[in-house]
Amino acid sequence: MNTLYKKEFARILIVDDEPVNLKLLDKMLSAQGYSNLVLVQDSRQVLDVYTRQCTDLILLDINMPHLDGFAVLEQLKSLDDPLLPPVVILTAQHSQDFLLRALNAGARDFITKPFDRNELLARVRNMLDAHTAYRLVHDQKDVLDEMVQIRTDELRRTRLQVVQRLGRAAEYRDNETGNHILRMSHISALLAQSIGWNKDDCELMLHASPMHDIGKIGIPDHILLKPGKFEPEEWEIMKTHAVIGANILEGDDSDLMRCAGEIALTHHEKWDGSGYPYGLSGEAIPLTGRIAALADVFDALTSERPYKKAWAVEAAVDLIKGHSGTHFDPDLVTVFMERLPEILTIRDRFSEPKA
In a domain, 21, yes or no: yes
Rounded to whole angstroms, how far apart are CA atoms 203 and 208?
A: 9
Q: Give the model's pLDDT for residue 1.
A: 46
Over residues 206-211, the mean pLDDT reads 91
Listed range (85-89, 162-166, 207-211) with the worst mean pLDDT:
162-166
Listed range (48-52, 142-146, 270-274, 347-351) with the worst mean pLDDT:
142-146
Rounded to whole angstroms, how far apart are CA atoms 351 and 355?
A: 12
Q: Are 5 and 56 in contact (CB under 8 A)?
A: yes
Q: Does the pLDDT of residue 26 top 50, yes or no?
A: yes
In a domain, 162, yes or no: no
Q: Does the pLDDT of residue 105 top 60, yes or no?
A: yes
CATH of residue 92's domain is 3.40.50.2300
Residues 196, 342 within the same domain: yes
Residues 240, 297 within the same domain: yes
Residues 127, 50 within the same domain: yes
Residues 78, 178 within the same domain: no
Over residues 228-239, the mean pLDDT reads 92
Rounded to whole angstroms, how far apart are CA atoms 258 and 225?
A: 29
- Name the active-site residue from 216, 270, 308, 309: 216
Q: Are 34 and 7 in contact (CB under 8 A)?
A: yes
Over residues 14-28, the mean pLDDT reads 92
Residues 195, 343 within the same domain: yes
Residues 136, 185 within the same domain: no
Q: Does the pLDDT of residue 167 top 80, yes or no?
A: no
Strand partners, 111: 90
Query: What DSSP string describes 17-67?
Result: S-HHHHHHHHHHHHHTT---EEEESSGGGHHHHHHHS--SEEEEESS-SSS
pLDDT band at 354 (very low <50, low <70, confident <90, very high): low
Structural domains counted in the chain: 2
Rounded to whole angstroms, how far apart are CA atoms 124 and 111?
A: 10
In a domain, 150, yes or no: no
Residues 98, 187 within the same domain: no
Q: Are 46 and 75 in contact (CB under 8 A)?
A: yes
Q: Which residues, 6+ apart, have CB-to-CB distance to 18 below 8 Å?
A: 61
Over residues 43-63, the mean pLDDT reads 89
Residues 183, 297 within the same domain: yes
Q: Give the model's pLDDT for residue 4.
A: 53
Q: Give the model's pLDDT for residue 92.
A: 81
Residues 133, 189 within the same domain: no
Q: Give the model's pLDDT for residue 306.
A: 66
Q: Which of 21, 110, 24, 16 is nearest to 66 (CA)?
A: 16
Q: Give the model's pLDDT for residue 111.
A: 85
In a domain, 154, yes or no: no
If one compares 330 and 143, the residue with the highest pLDDT of the two is 330
- pTM check: above 0.75: no
Strand arrangement of the beta sheet that strand 37-40 belongs to:
37-40, 12-15, 57-61, 87-91, 109-112
Q: Among 144, 159, 186, give the residue marking a domain's end.
A: 144
Residues 243, 119 within the same domain: no
Percentage of residues in the chain having pLDDT higher than 70: 94
Residues 79, 192 within the same domain: no
Rounded to whole angstroms, how far apart are CA atoms 232 and 258?
A: 31
Residues 200, 332 within the same domain: yes
Q: Give the model's pLDDT for residue 251.
A: 84
In a domain, 169, yes or no: no
Whole-number average pLDDT of the chain:
88
Q: Give the model's pLDDT for residue 253.
A: 79
In a domain, 244, yes or no: yes
99-103: long-range contacts, CB 8 A cutoff, minimum separation 24: 101/70, 102/62, 102/69, 102/70, 102/73
Q: Among 100, 127, 144, give the residue marking a domain's end.
A: 144
Indicate the residue type of 2.
N
Parent domain of 86: 12-144
CATH of residue 223's domain is 1.10.3210.10
Is residue 308 annotated as part of the catalytic site, yes or no?
Answer: no
In a domain, 69, yes or no: yes
Percentage of residues in the chain having pLDDT higher than 90: 50
Q: Give the model's pLDDT for residue 38.
A: 92
In a domain, 167, yes or no: no
Q: Give the model's pLDDT for residue 133.
A: 81
Q: Which residues, 6+ apart, have CB-to-CB distance to 186 below 8 Å?
A: 206, 346, 349, 350
